Structure 1
Amino acid sequence: MATPMTRTEKPLAKQDFEQLSEFRYQIRRFERFSESAAKSEGITPLQYLLLLHIKGFPGRSWASVGELAERLQAQHHGVVALVSRCETLGLVVRRESASDRRQVEVHLEPAGEQVLVRLAQLHRAELKSLAGRFTVPTIEL
């Protein structure tokens, strides 16, 4: 939660609002591109993000439901339902952890890997096309 402005902070200038507006605009354009790309592959944008976070989880090729919930900033039960839908589509599989039987690992299936690779290549190309326009605003405090 944001803290209220204190007396030591500078008020925002018009340029600060312009930078923030442009930043949010470029983020939203990228999100719209991503939504469209995922739908063209027959999956939802959230399913794409789930696949991406499994493959991109640091240090290993799988992730737990709890870790995915954190990455997706979603409720645990919602991620369980999302994993179930992806499992029905043959994109992921759940496996009981060999080291901790209470933990469930979510792994990509070959079909999920194929969809993810195609989408990730499109996303990388789109990000490259945004070079120079997608900058983080620098606001003086």
Structure 2
Amino acid sequence: MNQLSKQDFQNLSDFRFRLRAFQRHSEDICKSHGLTSLQYLLLLHLKGFTDREWATISELSTKLQSKHHATVMLIDRCSELGLVERRVSAKDKRCIEIHLLAKGETLVEAIAWQHRPELNHLQQSFPAAQ
């Protein structure tokens, strides 16, 4: 078994502290907008999805590192709040696309903007994260 040095433990501890501080700050921002952190992450992943403006439930489950049924329940809650909607794919009627609605887009942009100072701080602390 390989041994970790005291510095390895200090680096890992510092990283986890900064990551948790970012998460806690994010939770506070989301709460001030009436969302949970997971609801915000769903909106963020939809807004930031590569090469298109929607995602499937499976793709969102992967991004959220969540079980399929938990992602479905999260989408249901966001749909009830008027943040996202399900649409049948024009290309494949078996596929359901999850789209961000105007209210969701406004919220995700406002919340993401409030994350900029802390994100900049993290990027300065961990240049490899850029």
Instruction: State the alpha-carbon separation in 1 of the partners of residues 126 and 25 from structure 2.
Output: 14
Q: State the percentage of identical aligned residues.
A: 51
1:51-130 paired onto structure 2 within 5 Å: 51-130=43-122
Instruction: State the alpha-carbon separation in 2 of the partners of residues 15 and 125 from structure 1.
Output: 28
Cα deviation for residue 129 of structure 1 reads 3.0
Identify, as 1 or 2, the structure richer in helix: 2
Contact 1:23 1:135 in 2 (8 A): no
Cα deviation for residue 102 of structure 1 reads 1.1
| Amino acid aligned to 1:41 | H
| Amino acid aligned to 2:42 | L
Partner deviation per Cα, 1:65-102 (whole Å, 9 max, x = no partner):
01000000101111111101000000001100111111
| Amino acid aligned to 2:75 | V
- The residue aligned with 2:36 is 44
Instruction: State the alpha-carbon separation in 1 of the partners of residues 14 and 124 from structure 2.
Output: 12
Q: Which entry has the higher C-alpha Rg, 1 or 2?
A: 1
Q: CA RMSD in A?
A: 1.3
Instruction: State the alpha-carbon separation in 2 of the partners of residues 131 and 112 from structure 1.
Output: 26
Q: Report the 3-state secondary structure (helix = DSSP H, G, I; strand = E; otherwise coil) of the residue aligned with 1:130.
A: helix
| Amino acid aligned to 1:104 | I
The two structures have a TM-score, normalised by structure 1, of 0.86
| Amino acid aligned to 1:44 | T
The two structures have a TM-score, normalised by structure 2, of 0.93
5+ residue gaps, structure 2, are none
Q: Report the 3-state secondary structure (helix = DSSP H, G, I; strand = E; otherwise coil) of the residue aligned with 2:55.
A: strand
Figure out how many residues of one structure are paired with residues of the other and give that number. Answer: 128
Instruction: State the alpha-carbon separation in 1 of the partners of residues 38 and 23 from structure 2.
Output: 11
| Amino acid aligned to 2:7 | Q
Instruction: State the alpha-carbon separation in 2 of the partners of residues 75 and 19 from structure 1.
Output: 31
